[in-house]
Structure 1
Amino acid sequence: MSTLVWPAIPPEDLIREEEETQARELEWLLSSLQDTLRSLKEGLEECAELLAPKEPGSTLVLSSLRSENLKGFITRVGMRIVKGDVQLRLPSLPPPRGQNSYKLTISNLPTAPTIVLDQLTTIRTLINACLDVVDATRWTGDSTNANFISGQLKLLHDNIQEAKSALKGWTEHQKPWYEDSVDENAFNPPLPPNVSFHLSISEAAVLLNVRTLETAYPNTGTNTPLSLNAGAGGQSYSGFSLRERLATALGGSRQAFHDEAHEVFAYKGQDVRVRDKVRVESQDPSLMAAMAKLGALERNVALSRRALDVVMGEEQDEG
């Protein structure tokens, strides 16, 4: 079956018709993208609402799997942790006399440092930037300029991807625990000097890592820093029992059951090792909803970009 047009269209007329058709398609697409931008703004505003600091906040249960090493809760309001109690049962952190666990309580004193989840601050900043991009694209730019709209969609896509990555966690901009542990004075009483309390976001969940620390090179002479494990009068706060210290002095080894046992970290000006470590994740419904919405927005923007590239004749190879 022939698909030839008869009578034949002159080549120059065919080229003109194709160009006019493409121009009409581009005009229609740019017009329809205004509706897409309105929809994107609604979705971004929903994400911003999920991350907004609203009372009473989200109270998240903390519980270590298959052990009693860590139990407790924290309350998140926006980017801040405003309340929390954690009970620890770790071999290297003996509880006070008469108690069966070591309690960490987030201070509610007005002078206490604020515990801020930096990833959530980054995400909220990126979402606000996306809202600015949408408004600029709709109201201050030339909606009929395909190159301008294409550039704005790329900026929007990049910001949404970065916000989603921050919710997933472990981006290149995220500080490691030994550079970003919670200030000891954020607790009442203050955190023991040999304990690191680190909060972050991973896969839209709040991730808590508590570590007890010891000097990495305790037998190298008087130059070894002692402030991590010694208080006033030289009293040890390392949390190690007399039996453990005797066993170590006699050449016995201390067993470690975590992934950082044989690493050395520079923590607050000292080389330290991680004695005990407990890791707990607590799913946050608001963060999970925000990540799902960001994923949907990312796909919508990617589809719009692809469609515009095709009509503009700038379709790029996948990969």
Structure 2
Amino acid sequence: MAGLTGRERFTIIAQPDLIEQEESTLARELAWILSSLQDTLQSLKAGLEECAALLAPSEPGSTLVLSSLRSENLKGFITRVGTRIVKGDIQLRLPSVPVPRGQPSYKLSISTQPTAPTLAFEQLTTTRTLINACLDVVDATRWTGDATNADFISGQIRLLHENIQEAKAALKGWTPSQKLWYDDPVDPAAFTPALPANVSFHLCISEAAVLLHVRTLEATNSNTGTSTPLPVTTAAGLVPAPSYSGFSIRDRLAGVLGGGKQIVHDEAHEVFVYKGQEVRVKEKVRVESQDPSLMAAMAKLGALERNVALARRALDVVMGRDGEEG
């Protein structure tokens, strides 16, 4: 020790004392983080409550304009209140949907009868359920658990993070649990008059926007590969749909001139099982409408997700779990 300066002599600590001091320092850091997480949880709760308010069934709801791009195939509007569509009128101009005599288009109206089936967004129901679960996790963490128990707090933060991620994913859309259009047909009685048998009406959420697909269908003979148009329900009753299984004059000319038949949508050559019957999609219209409330909710969930991820990472580091998964 004789050759060391005063500063060097001061910094030399016995190994047992060094370990004890490191453990004491980590304990203080852990206590500080656990204490600060209580403020973080309070802030997260406020943000989650804002998200819940954006998705709540508040009148008058959100009225969204629906209009097909560069065509008159589909025009109209729907009104969303919470998870449900409570009102809507849509005008269709598709060759495979006969237009009533004297009318410029085929009108689809959401039924407002009290006994009519409800049109609802399952994704929004999932999102609201997950947000409510997040609020329960926050309350349980703050008021019923041991705020000084690092393992308990870590588990709660992890659960909160996972729920927020799933809620955001539901608003983003196209999750593995999301039903596809042919697995999720709407009840025809949700419309006045009833939805035609050869028309599929499918609403979903994609990137916090409302996405509507209207498809006209024709039955497929699985033995011959030919298509038979499904009947159409009109104000005059059930009438056969026009046949579109053959080539039109334009298609025949294109074949003679060396061109192929025009493919007007991405599902033209696929076969689907819809209501227990094999069908092809004759025509398909896609319309997207931005929903400001859903966009705000997804943006807030994204910010909450980042904040929880930072809190979770900081707690893992102090607990010696840096780099561990789960």
**TM-score normalised to the size of structure 1?**
0.91
**Aligned: 1:228 with 2:235:** no
In 2, distance between residues paired with 1:314 and 1:245?
A: 63
In 2, distance between residues paired with 1:300 and 1:83?
A: 38
Cα 1:313–1:166, aligned 2, differ >3 Å: closer, same or farther? same
In 2, distance between residues paired with 1:70 and 1:292?
A: 30
Give the alignment partner of residue 9 of structure 2, picking from 6, 9, 17.
Answer: 6
Which letter maps to 1:292? A
Maintained 8 Å contact 1:215/1:229: no
Cα 1:165–1:5, aligned 2, differ >3 Å: closer, same or farther? farther
Cα 1:137–1:159, aligned 2, differ >3 Å: closer, same or farther? same
Q: Unmatched 5+ residue regions in structure 1?
A: none
Which letter maps to 2:183? E
Maintained 8 Å contact 1:248/1:254: no
What does the per-residue CA deviation read over 1:232-285, in whole Å, with 9 as the maximum and x for residues that have no partner? 9x9753244xxx566479x95964310100000000111000000000010000
Cα 1:245–1:275, aligned 2, differ >3 Å: closer, same or farther? closer
Which letter maps to 2:270? E
1:71 Cα offset (Å): 0.5
The percentage of counterpart residues that share the same residue type is: 72
Counterpart in the other structure of 1:87: 91
Give the alignment partner of residue 181 of structure 2, picking from 173, 177, 200.
Answer: 177
**Aligned: 1:195 with 2:199:** yes
Counterpart in the other structure of 1:63: 67
Which letter maps to 2:76? G
Q: SS of the residue aligned with 2:286?
A: strand
Counterpart in the other structure of 2:105: 101
Matches within 5 A, 1:32-181: 32-181=36-185
Maintained 8 Å contact 1:120/1:167: yes
RMSD: 2.6
Q: SS of the residue aligned with 2:46?
A: helix
In 1, distance between residues paired with 2:238 and 2:78?
A: 32
1:111 Cα offset (Å): 1.3
Give the alignment partner of residue 279 of structure 1, picking from 286, 298, 303.
Answer: 286
In 2, distance between residues paired with 1:170 and 1:161?
A: 14
Cα 1:220–1:246, aligned 2, differ >3 Å: closer, same or farther? closer
In 1, distance between residues paired with 2:299 and 2:232?
A: 48
Maintained 8 Å contact 1:119/1:201: yes
In 2, distance between residues paired with 1:294 and 1:20?
A: 37
In 2, distance between residues paired with 1:17 and 1:231?
A: 81
Maintained 8 Å contact 1:92/1:276: yes
Q: Unmatched 5+ residue regions in structure 2?
A: 253-259
Matches within 5 A, 1:204-283: 204-217=208-221, 220=224, 228-229=230-231, 236-240=239-243, 244=244, 247=247, 255-283=262-290
Cα 1:235–1:200, aligned 2, differ >3 Å: closer, same or farther? closer
Maintained 8 Å contact 2:217/2:229: no
Maintained 8 Å contact 1:160/1:294: yes
In 2, distance between residues paired with 1:150 and 1:318?
A: 13
